[in-house]
Amino acid sequence: MIGPVRRVRRALTVLAALAAATSAHAADPPDMAAAARTLANNAPDALSRRSLAQVQLPDYELAQFRNVRAHYQRNELVNDQIVFCGELDAKHPTTGQRTGWTKFAYLPGDPTTLITMTPGLGMREIGPQVLRNLCETGKEKWLEGDFTPAFQRKPGPSAETAQ
């Protein structure tokens, strides 16, 4: 009779441990959350800065953002990566017209990379497939919070002239 009671206790212990591990894993890793906040706050300057003879988002101050979220990718052999995904409506650099809401992915780093679905805005050449792989796989580890306000901040006065 003691055998079944032990099995039930063991099963309950295992279930409790799994529940604790699941809830602990659900919280955002502090280092990734802090990195995402810092990178989001730097996005206006980074995206309006001239790099490799290209500005990722000309007329950044006229751009509007919505639904900006961040997720992280842990990597063993290379640096961990924060990826921002959302929608933007910007002035098209060639036509001067508003683009309408288009999906984007922003990868902070060197070089700064903005990927959109709109030709002529960011790096459209690698667009739809990469955008889906970065933002729409269903396997993203989304960090809590809306990063839109940080992206709406206007770039500093020296962002465009920085080399």
Residue 1 forms part of a structural domain: no
The type of residue at 25 is: H
Domain count, the chain: 1
pLDDT-derived band at 162 (thresholds 50, 70, 90) equals: very low
Domain presence at residue 114: yes
Q: Is the pLDDT of residue 149 over 90?
A: yes
Residue 117's contacts (CB-CB under 8 Å, 6 or more residues apart) are: 102, 103, 104, 124, 127, 128, 131
Please indicate, yes or no, if residue 14 is contained in any of the structural domains. no
pLDDT digits (tens, 9 = 90+) for 80-118: 789 999 999 998 888 889 989 999 999 998 778 888 888
Stretch (H or E) spanning 67: strand 64-73
Q: Is residue 159 part of a domain?
A: no
Domain membership flag for residue 123: yes
**Rounded mean pLDDT of the chain?**
77
Question: Which of 73, 76, 77 is closest to 137 using CA atoms?
Answer: 73
Q: Which of 66, 28, 58, 47 is nearest to 113 (CA)?
A: 47
Cβ neighbours, 10 Å, residue 73:
15
21 band by pLDDT with thresholds 50, 70 and 90: very low
Q: Which structural domain range is residue 122 located in?
A: 28-152
